[in-house]
Chain A
């Protein structure tokens, strides 16, 4: 009687602890602890009008970036070209990557595609995604 009462509660406690630990590592960790690093790395800010997305992509030129928004999905595709290295060069270090990339981000709301603004400066892409006016939360006044 005592045992049957006790055992499940320990496991429940362990499960809870495990969930907490997982959440802690997923949220608080810096990027190297996360499972799959995607390229480009993005930061997202939110306010009541919409989202602001920044993506780090040094070495990509503006004409090689493609941004598209359909409903609530944002897709960033592009290509970073390889450097022109002369044939007779000796390579000492090669740490920078190049090639094609694509990333799609699910947004928490539908975007007003007409009002999306994007800028690319010093290797950082900034996209402003305003929420569709009709979907914005409405304040409801309480009548006395």
Chain B
């Protein structure tokens, strides 16, 4: 796990620069680690965003681009000075291009313990249709 961890940290440090524009907030932006799996009915996206809460996470689906934005609400303690530092606090942003058509009305988002879980149901026409072959 640790080696895998290290590789991801590097990726996390990179700032997002899609279409060359910059974010308005001058704060470190991380690419959150994500899992994606797909079943016949749904596409499920899980995103690790420690420090974000359900009110500061923003999800948009425009055409087939899913964008997840999270603003960390983590507060540094008052009257303390930093002695040792391993992680940085920042915001999260990541976009995915979805290959299937999504039923927008059925999208479900759950935020729990710093993890966002998105269940995106596939639109009826994108579902795999099984064609039964009849023997004559």
Contact = CB atoms under 8 A, between A and B. Distances in A.
Interface residues on B, range: 35 or more
B80 A52 contact: yes
A58 B86 contact: no
Contacts of A37: 2, 5-6, 9
B17 interface: no
Interface stretch (A3-11, A41-49, A134-142): A41-49
Interface string B69-101: 000011011011111111110000000000000
B51 A123 contact: yes
Contacts of B39: 86, 88-90
A132 B5 CA distance: 36
Given A37-B6, A52-B77, A43 B114 contact: no
B1 interface: yes
Interface stretch (B19-27, B28-36, B60-68): B28-36
Interface string B91-121: 0000000000000000000000111000000
Most buried by B among A38, A47, A85, A95: A95
A60 interface: yes
Contact of B9 (A32, A86, A96, A121): A32
Nearest to B114: A123
A42 to B, nearest CB: 5
Contacts of B124: none
Interface in A69-101: 83, 85-86, 88-97, 99
B10 to A, nearest CB: 5
A124 B39 CA distance: 31
Interface of A: 30-32, 36-39, 41-47, 51-52, 54, 56-61, 83, 85-86, 88-97, 99, 120-124, 126
Sorted nearest first, the 9 A-B pairs with minimum C-beta distance are A123-B114, A58-B114, A45-B80, A123-B50, A41-B87, A44-B84, A41-B86, A95-B33, A46-B83
Interface of B: 1-2, 4-6, 8-10, 13, 33-40, 44, 46, 48-53, 73-74, 76-77, 79-88, 113-115
20 contacts: A32-B9, A32-B10, A36-B2, A37-B2, A38-B2, A44-B83, A45-B82, A46-B83, A52-B77, A56-B87, A56-B114, A57-B114, A88-B39, A91-B36, A92-B37, A97-B4, A123-B114, A124-B74, A124-B114, A126-B77
